[in-house]
Amino acid sequence: MDFDLSEEQRLLKESVDGLLADSYDFEARKKYMKEKGGWSKAVWGKLAEQGLLGLPFAEADGGFGAGAVETMIVMEALGKALVVEPYLATVVIAGGFLRHGGSAAQKEAHVPGIIDGSKTFAFAQLEKNSRYDLHDVVTSAKKKGDGWVIDGEKFVVLNGENADTLIVTARTSGAQRDKTGIGVFLVPADAKGITRKGYPTQDGLHAADITFTNVEVGADSAIGNPADALALIERVADEARTAVCAEAVGAMDESLKTTVEYIKTRKQFGVAIGSFQSLQHRASDMFVALEQARSMSMLATMAADFDNARERATSVAAAKVQIGKSLKFVGQQSIQLHGGIGMTMEAKIGHYFKRLTMIENSFGDTDYHLRRVSESGGLL
Partner 1 sequence: MDLAFTKEEIAFREEVREFFKTNVPPDTRRKLQEGRHLSKDEMVTWWRILNKKGWGVTHWPKEYGGTGWTSVQHYIFNEELQSYPAPQPLAFGVSMVGPVIYTFGNEKQKKEYLPRIANVDDWWCQGFSEPGSGSDLASLKTKAERKGDKWIINGQKTWTTLAQHADMIFCLCRTDNNAKKQMGISFIVFSMKSKGVTVRPIQTIDGGHEVNEVFFDDVEVPVENLIGEENKGWDYAKFLLGNERTGIARVGVSKERLRRIRDLASKVEAGGKAIIEDPAFREKLTACEIELKALELTQLRVVADEGKHGKGKPNPASSVLKIKGSEIQQTTTELLMEVIGPFAAPYDEHGDAGSNESMDWSAQIAPSYFNNRKVSIYGGSNEIQRNIISKAVLGL
- Length of the chain counted residue by residue: 380
State which residue, 115 or 263, has the beta carbon closest to partner 1.
263
Count residues near partner 1 (CB under 8 A). Answer: 40
Residue in 104, 105, 175, 380 binding partner 1, rule: CB under 8 A: 380
Window contacting partner 1 (CB under 8 A); options: 111-119, 218-226, 230-238, 314-322: 314-322
Contacts of residue 23, defined as CB under 8 A and 6 or more positions apart, other chains included, come to 43, 46
Window contacting partner 1 (CB under 8 A); options: 83-91, 198-206, 217-225, 298-306: 298-306
User: Considering the complex, what minimum distance in angstroms separates the CB of residue 296 from partner 1?
Assistant: 5
User: For residues 307 and 343, is the Cβ–Cβ distance under 8 A?
Assistant: no
Q: Which residues, listed in sequence order, are joined to residue 196 by a DSSP beta bridge?
A: 210
Residue ranges in 249-278 that form contacts with partner 1 under rule CB under 8 A: 260, 263-264, 274-275, 277
By DSSP bridging, strand 121-124 and strand 165-171 are parallel
User: Considering the complex, what minimum distance in angstroms separates the CB of residue 164 from partner 1?
Assistant: 34
* CA–CA dist 135, 190 (Å, integer): 26
What does the buried/exposed string (b/e) look like for 44-66 if buried means 16 or more CB atoms within 10 Å of the residue's CB?
Answer: bebbbebebbbbbbeeebebbeb
Q: Does 333 bind partner 1 (CB under 8 A)?
A: no
User: For residues 223 and 167, is the Cβ–Cβ distance under 8 A?
Assistant: yes
Contacts of residue 175, defined as CB under 8 A and 6 or more positions apart, other chains included, come to none
Q: By CB neighbour count within 10 A (0-12 exposed, 13-18 middle, 19+ buried), where does 358 fall?
A: middle
User: Considering the complex, what minimum distance in angstroms separates the CB of residue 98 from partner 1?
Assistant: 25
User: Considering the complex, what minimum distance in angstroms separates the CB of residue 350 from partner 1?
Assistant: 21
User: Considering the complex, what minimum distance in angstroms separates the CB of residue 338 from partner 1?
Assistant: 15
* CA–CA dist 296, 308 (Å, integer): 18
Residue ranges in 343-372 that form contacts with partner 1 under rule CB under 8 A: 370-371
Q: Does 285 bind partner 1 (CB under 8 A)?
A: yes
User: Considering the complex, what minimum distance in angstroms separates the CB of residue 67 from partner 1?
Assistant: 9
DSSP-based three-state secondary structure for 39: coil
Going 218 to 223 to 228 to 230, the CA torsion angle's sign is negative
Q: Does 298 bind partner 1 (CB under 8 A)?
A: yes
* CA–CA dist 109, 182 (Å, integer): 23
Mark 44-83 with x for binding to partner 1 (rule: CB under 8 A) and - for no binding: -------------------------x--------------
Residue in 145, 270, 340, 378 binding partner 1, rule: CB under 8 A: 378
Residue ranges in 4-23 that form contacts with partner 1 under rule CB under 8 A: 4-5
Q: Does 283 bind partner 1 (CB under 8 A)?
A: yes
Type of residue at 55: L
Please give the residue ranges that form the binding site for partner 1 (CB under 8 A). 1-5, 69, 260, 263-264, 274-275, 277, 279-281, 283-285, 287-288, 291-296, 298-299, 301-302, 318, 321-322, 370-371, 373-374, 378-380
